[in-house]
Structure 1
């Protein structure tokens, strides 16, 4: 059985070595030594100034919005996981959807600009599959409007844009370290920002809004544990190996898939992390046919992302024809740090026959 991904696990002894440190310190949570070590090593590895480790990627989004006190209209993408939109709704925001580019699948800068009004309080958009639009132009748009630019970088761990970490663009970026991600801490996420003051605000909100006996704001419990930090420290050592395997797997897909199989176009300014391998069917019926053929061979890809978020049943309808079309045709093929050439070629054989 082959699934869309398979979580990477380090050698058990590596993880146990960290567990022994936890047993020795008896420090399980509340900014323990392993968590602080992980934050330091992540900041160095990702070449960012400030990173705050949190419970998951959704809490990271909520903390980013709360740190900027964003309430009201937020221009956002319809092509992302539902957590991006749900975080906005939970924080009292109104999603205003800007349609995506049909090739890169990220929000077009012109669409962002056209959707900004006097009521817009922020921009929140996604580096889809680790891909990117014109980030410099988007920074300019946000600056001219006087609003924060927040990026959902859930897929973008280790990605570079124009030679530097993609997490250095915008005012604040969030990331997910969920078990399905290329780098994971089982459950977890992070908030990344250039401003130390903003990072301290996120830390405050993450820890119930107080420091010791000094109560500063109405925060939440967005902390993470030493056990999750331990998994992150173990996995970070292997990230380049994980990425290298996935790169070779992606190259084999690209080499072997029939020319009729549509893939997405990567921004030439992006240094990829190979976190996903999406293909695009001719239409929804064709996509369902591909899935059926793969499932019959015990291969389980994922419709990632579906549906287009502007079509979620609990939202008022906003038309985003490009996103709606792509969401009905997109499919992520199996990709992991342990997928074999034989497994890839089996997937390719079935997909090619389906076109």
Structure 2
């Protein structure tokens, strides 16, 4: 079985070594995710076209085609491709012209808050909703000060934030809203794509995401003028003709090879999402009767992308979350405790007053209970049933 498509950093590293038993003999390891790859032969014509054009980067044909194709697929008008999702988020915040404080969640991958520090912005952490695990709108208003300029929510696990409540708060206080939608490719609420909300939304096309360009990302914005500014910022701040430097830009461009892979991946994304949906349904059916196991559901979600399958392990289960995690690892099932530790608990954030545990009780409870179970298009139903059986067998 292929190895995971990412380097297992300390942040993401599972603690299989903490299991009290050796992995089950003969069973291949199952990781939390695995990329859906097309046949290699299908990629070769794209490479041949790139070789023929001698255009490897700088907004070539593949780049232009992918931007147009993604706008059509996602139902948005303006999208700018990036080399990765983190650079997209950093650039979106820069394009928004923010200063001072930005309200955000402690429950996300660290790139969310790091993008604020890279823009010399002060993160203000607000607790999460216990049901959606997204930023809790009822906590936002109390955190607003005269220094607050924006809200940076995350559609965690691809489930929608309470966008109406967040928009109302932002309008009352004259704040901008930038959505970290790294998990939310293809997800929709009743009005359409989640990406249409806020002043901007950013995507990740990392190898672990439901749609991948190997590495990549994008910013979705509302108007052509903002897209032009974003495109300029990601290309060193150069003018349209490339003769002068007008902005303090960076190099965030997506290469032609990455864009070509995205075009190929887009052809199979609906099938991949359908396979994820079936796995999600199988987990929910199998885990429904197990006391103490709670499956996270989206609220106001018309179309889910099933990017992750998080469960919360409550006291009724009989084993702690870490004991269950070790039990699964002992059988070569490697979930992840996304997102442990909380961003607010990392060394560079602990000193902020909003990072205190007393300010974030729900996030601190959830982070001690969560396991993301394996989910990816090629995960067979027999393995899903095996995982369900392991959890059921470990219940008190």
If the length of structure 2 is used for normalisation, what is the TM-score?
0.87
Contact preservation (8 Å) 1:307, 1:324: no
The answer to whether structure 1 residue 324 and structure 2 residue 358 are counterparts is no
Match of 2:343 in 1: 309
Shift of 1:285: 7.0
Contact preservation (8 Å) 2:290, 2:392: no
Q: Secondary structure at the match of 1:214?
A: coil
Match of 2:381 in 1: 341
RMSD: 1.3
Q: Secondary structure at the match of 2:80?
A: strand
Match of 2:8 in 1: none
- Choose which of 307, 311, 316 in structure 2 pairs with 1:275: 307
In 1: Cα distance, 2:31 partner to 2:296 partner? 21
In 2: Cα distance, 1:293 partner to 1:9 partner? 30
Match of 1:238 in 2: 268
Q: Secondary structure at the match of 2:347?
A: coil
Match of 1:48 in 2: 76
Contact preservation (8 Å) 1:289, 1:354: no
- Choose which of 121, 132, 139 in structure 1 pairs with 2:160: 132
Shift of 1:163: 3.1
Structure 2 segments unaligned to the other structure (5+ residues): 1-28
The answer to whether structure 1 residue 266 and structure 2 residue 306 are counterparts is no
Q: Secondary structure at the match of 2:151?
A: strand
Alignment size in residue pairs: 355
Q: Higher mean Cα deviation, 39-48 or 294-303?
A: 294-303
Q: What do residues 262-295 of structure 1 show as CA deviations (whole Å, max 9, x unaligned)?
A: 1113203442111110001126971111111111
The answer to whether structure 1 residue 300 and structure 2 residue 334 are counterparts is yes
Match of 1:154 in 2: 182
- Gap change, CA 1:139 and 1:325, over 3 Å in 2: same
Shift of 1:102: 0.4
Q: What do residues 22-76 of structure 1 show as CA deviations (whole Å, max 9, x unaligned)?
A: 0110100000100110000000000001000001111011001100121211000
Q: What do residues 232-263 of structure 1 show as CA deviations (whole Å, max 9, x unaligned)?
A: 00100001100000000110001111332111
Structure 1 segments unaligned to the other structure (5+ residues): none
Q: What do residues 175-204 of structure 1 show as CA deviations (whole Å, max 9, x unaligned)?
A: 000000000000000000112111111101
Q: Higher mean Cα deviation, 262-271 or 197-206?
A: 262-271
Q: What do residues 72-105 of structure 1 show as CA deviations (whole Å, max 9, x unaligned)?
A: 1100011110000111111101110110100110
Q: What do residues 138-196 of structure 1 show as CA deviations (whole Å, max 9, x unaligned)?
A: 11211221121000000000001123110001110000000000000000000001121
